[in-house]
Structure 1
Amino acid sequence: MLFNSIDFAIFLPIIFILYWFVTNKNLKLQNLLIVISSYIFYGWWDWRFLSLILFSTIVDYFIGIKLSKQENQTKRKLLLWTSIFVNLGFLGFFKYYNFFLDNFITAFSFFGTEINANSLNIILPVGISFYTFQTLSYTIDVYRRKLEPTKDFIAFSAFVSFFPQLVAGPIERATNLLPQFYAKRNFDYSKAIDGMRLILWGLFKKVVIADTCSIFVDDIFQNYMNYSGGTLIVGTILFSFQIYCDFSGYSDIAIGTAKLFGIKLMTNFRTPYFSRNIAEFWRRWHISLSTWFRDYVYIPLGGSKTSKILTVRNIFIIFIVSGFWHGANWTYIIWGSLNAFYFLPIFLMKQNRKHLNTTTKNKFIPSFKELNSMFFTFIITAFAWIFFRSKTLTDAFEYIKGIFNQNNFFKMQTAKTYELDIRPLIIYLTFFIIVDWYYRNEEIVFTNHNLTKSTIIFKYIIYLFTIISIIFSIKNQASNFIYFQF
């Protein structure tokens, strides 16, 4: 079920009414309603994959209980590796089987040996990368004795399958989300209003910005050989905004929807395109995944508390694995590696912890130095997105080659020139950047802090423009979110 669909617009109010007016006096019933509604939400795509979520839930639930009763370290490790094997085994089969098979065949063909093996027609379960990492965080934290295992199967099932963030995050930690299913939840009007604000802004990002950008981006990337270097640059910039607004839009809707049910999810994006270096960018982009890799891979490998060579190794492992997490394609691995190369000089010069505060926190206009740093960071990030968006490495390199082709570089033709007008998109993007900048210090856009008469007027102008833009941008067929494929 898509957040931007009529189905969800009907589904959400029904669950909301049942949650607060029918099951509100019984915590078990509330949690059971969350589990049932989450399974309906996920099964809307393909009910057959519900068995994967249920199986992972059962395995990690019982392993958690066993870990609490087991003192023998060898047996505890065996239990932990059982959970890792089951969860990553499913993920590896559905997501990476054909990738490894094809590369295995290619490697042997290079040495003159032909291997006959058939790829499988495997359907990738929506969101498997997200809920797999979420359940793993539970088992690992129980193993580390950072979390007491639950004996409430319904609460644990709600943690694993909570529908707002089930298919595209944020990837929640059991230490944050699971305890919220133990405590009685009371309706909070202010939190609900904040949730509605986030949902509204998330829909604007997705429906107005991301989906409009996609029309131009899809045409440019599919027909890059027919466009000038200037247009290819436009396509790269538009994809940068598309993927940001598509993914952060989903996160906003997920976090906002959770607030309607009295649940707090972690922030997943903090205006990453206003970052002043690549290290700051990665502290602000897909925060739930970045911190997951930091806590469960980077630090166990030794993190930065080891030799320089091993630390550099750890950095590359994190970025390459992060790229591979996104998909079974060499383009993602190159994208991750490229970001590692971006990050390495900053780390070696000990500049990676330099920008911990919000950009121009106490001023509205950034300094020239800050503006220059933000522009450079955006440019190198956008360049890396070319690999992320391209279907093959050949496409990516040819696309980059086309950018530096001097023939007709300044002939800024746009995708589908004679069919579409790019000017409305420019207006939308300008509006989006202004609002994103204005609320960069706030976790929730349209927040009501320190309102004056002028800011109240400004806020309602934003509301009106946002709602009208969404209405005029809604299409008959709801489009998928980009990160559903991961």
Structure 2
Amino acid sequence: MLFTTLSFWGFFAIVGLAYVLLSHKAQNRMLLVASYIFYGAWDWRFLSLILLSTLVDYFVGLAMERETRETRRKRLLYVSLACNLGMLAVFKYLGFFVDSFAGLLAGFGYEADIFTLSIVLPVGISFYTFQTLSYTIDIYRKELKPTDDFLDFALFVAFFPQLVAGPIERARNLLPNIAKPRILSWEALSRGVVLVLIGLIKKVVIADAIGPSVDAVYSSPDPTRLDIVFATWLFAIQIYCDFSGYTDIARGVAKMLGFSLMRNFAQPYFAADPQEFWRRWHISLSTWLRDYLYISLGGNRGGPTKTYRNLMATMTLGGLWHGAAWNFVLWGIYQGALLSIHRALTGRNGHSGEGTNRTFWSWLKRAFAIAAFFQIVCYGWLLFRATSFSQISDFTGKLLGLSAAPMGLTMPMPPFPALLGMVFLFVWDMFTERTGNVRFYSGWPLVSRAALWACMIYLFAFGATTTTSSFIYFQF
């Protein structure tokens, strides 16, 4: 059930009606059943994986809390790590590494007769395994007390709005929201509706509409230089609108039910350097990698060399998290290199120039820095979107003028509603950035707010495509 289909909104209408009629505990049990139905609609067989992760981490958490001996607590943590990372390894990476090994042998002249299973990637597995891992790691670090309510924990793992593409919630944030009665209000309902509407505009009006233009260039055997430039700019917009659109809808649906999910994007293309970008892009993943991988590797302790090593390792593994393909690994290496170079140039506490209290010239300087850094980000998206190393080499050579390429623009242009949607989103993000308030419109007069809502509804109705595609991050 995609958020952009009538089947989901019919499902949510039934859930919402039952929700307002039930008591707190009954709400939680109903949401758990609804979450399993939601996930089972993709492929009911993979419910066993969620259930396995839930059972293991629930009992590991309770056992770690009772255990006083450090060696046994560590062994229990290893059980959680082996279960969750083992599922990821088998279902997401086994075929990739086996195929890569066979290719390596072939490069040395050995024909490897290797048998591999055709394994279907369970949707959302990267998200919910990281979510449950944060629970057991926090308990091991004695930063969190485990819950003794199995069904509440099961709802934390499988909560349907953010189950398949995040945000990756922490137990200390979401579990208290599950355990305590939630207060429903018209304010929360209206905030949820606005989030859903802006998310649908991002996904349906913009991302789905510009996707064919991007695909046309990245599937072309010989695109022009301008085609590559414009397609990569458009892909940067597509992936932002697609992923942040999912998050907005998930947060909006949760808000209507009385839950508060973390913000996952904060105008990332207004970043002026790589450190700032990763404070704004996929915040739940970047903070997860920082707290559970980068710090565990040693963080910035041990001098610059070890810091750069830890940054590179963290971002490389972060790239691999996105998918079982070498271009994702290369993208992770690229991001790690950017962070390392930025740290080497600016130091540990490099200042990015964020904030609103600055002169006209400092604003202008920051605008140039943002525009320049956006090009650096876009080259990273070229690595991310490319279908092969040969395409990366070909596109890079054309962009740098190292290989001959015509200059004309031949790619199909996005439809007018998508262009209008991009203008609307830019203005929306500008208001959010300038005010530092995601609800910048809340203080407006009622007439102005009504006009804004009417504009959003009209844009969605005017720009909605007849067909919609799956969210890009479902494959991760």
TM-score (norm 1): 0.93
* Root mean square deviation of aligned Cα: 2.1
1:194 and 1:444 in contact (8 A); partners too: no
AA matched with 1:257: V
State the distance in 1 between where 2:287 and 2:33 align: 30
Answering whether residue 464 of structure 2 is matched by residue 474 of structure 1, we say: yes
The answer (yes or no) to whether the contact 2:417–2:462 under 8 Å persists in 1 is no
Q: 1:289 to 1:11 in 2, by over 3 A?
A: same
Distance 1:162 1:442 in 2: 32
1:138, 1:118 → 2: CA distance?
A: 36
Residue 435 (structure 1) aligned with residue 420 (structure 2): no
1:269 equivalent in alignment to 2:246? no
SS at match of 2:42: coil
Which of the two has greater helix per residue?
2
Residue 260 in 1 paired to residue 250 in 2? no
Which of 396, 408, 412 pairs up with 1:411? Answer: 408
Partner of 2:473: 483
SS in 2 for 1:194: helix
Gaps of 5+ in 2: none
Q: Which residue of 2 aligns with 1:90?
A: 87
Paired AA for residue 426 in structure 2: I
> How far off is 1:106 after superposition?
2.1
Structure 2 Cα separation of the partners of residues 182 and 193 of structure 1:
24
Distance 1:397 1:155, change over 3 A: same
Pairing of 1:248-327 with structure 2 (within 5 A): 248-327=244-323
Whether the aligned pair in 2 keeps the contact of 1:228 and 1:403 (CA below 8 Å) is: no
Q: 1:422 Cα shift?
A: 4.5
Which residue is 1:239 aligned to?
Answer: 235
**After superposition, where does 1:316-465 map in structure 2 within 5 Å?**
316-350=312-346, 353-355=349-351, 358=354, 360=356, 367-405=363-401, 409-415=406-412, 422-440=415-433, 445=438, 447-451=440-444, 456-457=447-448, 459-465=449-455
Q: How is 1:22-101 mapped onto 2 (pairs within 5 angstroms)?
A: 23=22, 25=23, 27-101=24-98
In 2: Cα distance, 1:118 partner to 1:68 partner: 43
Deviations along 1:114-151, whole A, 9 cap, x unmatched?
A: 32112221110000000000000011111111111111
Residue number in structure 2 paired with 1:15 = 15
Cα deviation 1:435-471 (Å, max 9, x = unaligned): 1111225677554443258xx53x4444333222222
- 1:235-292 CA-to-partner distances (Å, cap 9, x unmatched) read 0000000000000000111111111111111110000000111110011000000000
Letter in 1 for 2:167: P
Closer/same/farther in 2, CA of residues 363 and 464 from structure 1, 3 Å limit: farther
Q: Do 1:201 and 1:445's aligned partners in 2 also have CA atoms closer than 8 Å?
A: no
Q: Do 2:418 and 2:463's aligned partners in 1 also have CA atoms closer than 8 Å?
A: no
> Is residue 113 of structure 2 the alignment partner of residue 116 of structure 1?
yes
Residue 178 of structure 1 is matched in structure 2 by 175
Aligned residue for 2:341, secondary structure, equals helix
Corresponding position of 1:222? 219
Cα distance in 2 between the residues matched to 1:215 and 1:352: 42
**Conserved 8 A contact 1:229-1:404:** no
Give ranges in structure 1 of 5+ residues lacking alignment. none
- 1:366 Cα offset (Å): 7.7
Deviations 1:318-362 (A, max 9, x none): 110110000111100111111112111211133564456755468
Distance 1:476 1:423 in 2: 15
Number of residues of Structure 1 aligned to a counterpart in Structure 2: 475
Distance 2:404 2:127 in 1: 44
TM-score (structure 2 length as normaliser): 0.95
Residues 274, 359 of structure 1: 8 Å contact kept: no
Deviation of residue 423 (structure 1)?
A: 4.2
Q: Does 1:128 align with 2:125?
A: yes
Contact 1:276–1:373 (CA under 8 A) maintained in structure 2: yes
CA distance in 1, matches of 2:434, 2:138: 31
Q: Distance in 2 between matches of 1:111 and 1:321?
A: 27
Structure-2 residue corresponding to 1:168: 165
The CA deviation string for residues 154-177 of structure 1, in whole angstroms up to 9 with x for no partner, is 100110000010000000011111
Answer yes or no: is 1:198 the counterpart of 2:188.
no
**Letter aligned with residue 435 of structure 1:** W
Contact 2:61 2:136 survives alignment (8 Å): yes
Specify the SS of the correspondent of 1:226: coil
Contact conserved, 2:225 with 2:407, CA < 8 A, in 1?
A: yes
Give the counterpart letter for 2:228 in structure 1. L
SS of 1:440's partner is helix
CA distance in 2, matches of 1:430, 1:383: 23
**Residues 60-119 of structure 1 deviation map (CA, whole Å, 9 limit, x = unaligned):** 111111111111211111110011001110111010001110112222333333321122
| Identity score, percent | 41
Q: Which amino acid aligns with 2:475?
A: Q
Q: For residues 12-67 of structure 1, give each alpha carbon's deviation from its aligned partner in whole angstroms, at most 9, with x where no partner exists.
A: 1211111112x1x2x22111111111111111111111111011101111111111
| Structure 1 residue 408, shift from structure 2 partner | 6.5
Name the aligned partner's letter for residue 260 of structure 1.
M
